[in-house]
Structure 1
Amino acid sequence: MKITVFGATGGTGRHVVEQALDAGHHVTAVVRDPAGLPRSDHPRSDHPRSDHPRSDHPRLDPVIADVMRPAAIEASVTGRDAVISALGPRGRGAGQVCAEGARSIIAALDDPATAGHTISLGY
């Protein structure tokens, strides 16, 4: 399957991405900062985020995008079998980011080219 994960570097998102990769799926990880996904030159045991999937995994495509802008994320959901939102609270205004992010993802999925996709929203 081709899966897009929003919030891929967060507590839940990193586990979703890792499990999807372990199951053989192709994952598009939509992130604000790709530094949260380590590269192979950072051994897992030494990397500060050692439990994250590696950004250079052959089936992982990190995409930097603002989840608050549907047009910016539309390409990330087009042609995917599943879209998963693992956006979660972090800092002040986190509830707004989760709510607005969900609206933005739904708006991006409203395009006929993305119809029929699955979306799982979690807070």
Structure 2
Amino acid sequence: MIRNEPRERVCDMSPEDQKKWEEEQMQLPVDFTNCHIDPAPFQLVERTSLLKVHSLFSMVGVNHAYVTAIGKLVGVVGLKELRKAIEDANSGNLPLNSADSNSNGTVSVNDVKESTVDKEPDVSTTLITKDSEV
């Protein structure tokens, strides 16, 4: 089913009308027949160590993996950010929260952050979490 276009542009609506239109759109069914959905996505749990993630990426040959916590998607790790995180860890630039979040002092997939070098993040390689601003 194709979503209904508003009679006026959403950006021209009042905030109340925008919210109402968005809520109506959220109630409509979504047709995924034209969407490519990976039938066997590569998943990691959120506390997987960088060493283990790197080994898995190398062995399986993937460019990105979904990060889950209790079966819920919490992020995506890309090969580019994984490599940067490993370089940082090897040079002693550990994330500030790594000592707090990992009692054994290892760096985990949670510590991989979005690259600040690129102005526009590459969708296939950017770490995205539910707390990230879009």
- Give the number of the structure whose residues are more often strand, by fraction: 1
Larger radius of gyration: 2
Q: Which protein has greater RCO, CA pairs closer than 8 Å, 6+ apart? A: 1
